[in-house]
Amino acid sequence: MTAPDGHQVRIRVPATSANLGPAFDCAGLALTRHDVVEFTVAADGLEVAMSGEGAHSLPTGEDHLVVRSFRAACDELGWTTPGLRMAAQNRIPQGRGMGSSAAAVVAGVVGAWALARGADGIDTDAVLRLATAIEGHPDNVAACLLGGAVLSWMDDGGARAHRLDVDARIAPVLLVPAGTLSTHVARGLLPDLVPHADAARNAGRAALLTAALTRAPELLLAATDDRLHQRQRGDAMPESIDLVDRLRDQGLAAVVSGAGPSVLVLADRSAGDPLATIGELTRTGWDVIPLQVDTAGAAVVPAAP
């Protein structure tokens, strides 16, 4: 089956922050920073256009991650396009622990589903399984796809996820440095074994995190305490770990965002405006970006005029 020439969809995907402290590889949060990718069926060939983040460094052929993900979804659907034009507006910083690769994967897979089946025909379970198979783990792709806070896990059938509505008092603030860090490098610094006491402590804090995110933001500082992965990767991002420590000393629930080196603060609006304290503690070279929780996740949006 092929699509008609000129058929077009536009997909918006949010940035995400994974782990949220103790919930390593099993929790993620969608944030209001978005990439928008437009797919248009063409008569033949492939054309890739980009603006914004990574516009001058990302590939422009079949090896582009969005295109590869689109092709993988087409294979699964038994569907194809004679040619493809892809135009991406990238606002999610690359290589900074904000889920840019997960957003690319989800955009490609959802784009293929939307072109083949229409916006109402997208099977989110199938998209989650395929996107996870491409990305390698479900925490970022699940949050990107579903929005809100998402718990994710793997079973015999592939990736699974459960979405949580986040308490409206929670105010996410991203602190983004100029430098980047490869997820592969960051994960390579993790030890093969961890102390049983640290694993038990993290399990308790990850359970507490669910309550803190959904109804008790006053518990966020305790609920975001981690002993399994952040400090173990500190040699690759010492300034990030130092900033996390200084923010937490001031009572702010600060964590490394994903693989880093960005830092995420989950502030409680009811406790006052955190930006003054964050500004005082954040040295030159960090962008302070107040955001909100993205509740929509990946979405088919109207085409640009």
In a domain, 208, yes or no: yes
- Domain hosting 283: range is 170-290
Same domain for 46 and 106? yes
Task: Compute how many other C-beta atoms are within 10 angstroms of the C-beta atom of residue 45.
Answer: 9
Shared-domain flag, residues 17 and 159: yes
182 and 238 in a single domain? The answer is: yes
CATH classification at residue 73: 3.30.230.10
pLDDT of residue 273: 84
Question: 252: helix, coil or strand?
Answer: coil
Q: Same domain, yes or no, for 161 and 32?
A: yes
Q: Does some domain include residue 207?
A: yes
- Please give the torsion angle defined by the CA atoms of residues 165, 103, 33 and 170, in that order, rounded to the nearest 10 degrees: 20
What are the tokens at 86? 């892809």
Rounded Cα distance, 34 and 93, in Å: 10
- With respect to residue 78, please indicate whether it lies within any of the assigned structural domains: yes
The answer on 176 and 144 residing in a single domain is: no
Domain for residue 1, yes or no?
Answer: no
Entry pTM: 0.94
Q: What is the 3-state secondary structure (H, E, C) of 83-143?
A: EEEEEEEECCCCCCCCCHHHHHHHHHHHHHHHHHHCHHHCCHHHHHHHHHHHHCCHHHHHH
Which H or E element spans position 211?
helix 196-214
Does residue 305 form part of some domain? Answer: no
Question: How far are the Cα atoms of 11, 48, 94, 103, 304 from residue 106, in angstroms, in the given order?
Answer: 9, 17, 15, 5, 20
**With contact defined as beta carbons under 8 Å apart, do 205 and 255 qualify?**
no
- Residues in the chain where the model's pLDDT stays below 50: none
Measured distance CA(138)–CA(54) in Å, rounded: 23
pLDDT in the model for residue 138: 96
pLDDT for 303: 75
Strands 83-90 vs 45-52: parallel, antiparallel or unpaired: parallel
Both 191 and 124 in one domain: the answer is no
C-beta atoms surrounding 54 within 10 Å: 18
Domain shared by 70 and 126, yes or no: yes
What CATH number does the domain containing 283 carry?
3.30.70.890
So what's the pLDDT on residue 121? 92
Rounded Cα distance between 199 and 192, Å, is 13
Q: At what angle do helices 124-135 and 138-146 cross, to 10 degrees?
A: 150
Residue 121 and residue 224 in one domain: no
Residues 6+ away with beta carbon under 8 Å from 239: 177, 261, 283
Is 16 a domain residue? yes
Alpha carbons 150 and 54: distance in angstroms, whole number: 27
Identify the pLDDT of residue 35: 98
Residue 130 is predicted with a pLDDT of 98
Please tell me whether residues 112 and 230 are part of one structural domain: no
Q: How far apart are CA 72 and CA 141, in angstroms?
A: 15
Considering the domain architecture, whether residues 64 and 136 belong to the same structural domain is answered as: yes
Claim to verify: residue 270 and residue 220 sit in the same structural domain: yes
φ, ψ (nearest 5 deg) of residue 61: -125, -155
Percentages helix, strand, coil for the chain (3-state, rounded to 5) are 40, 30, 35
Q: Is residue 3 part of a domain?
A: no
Identify the pLDDT of residue 3: 62
pLDDT at 304: 67
The structural domain count of the chain equals 2
Q: 36 in a domain, yes or no?
A: yes
Do 127 and 276 sit in the same domain of this protein?
no
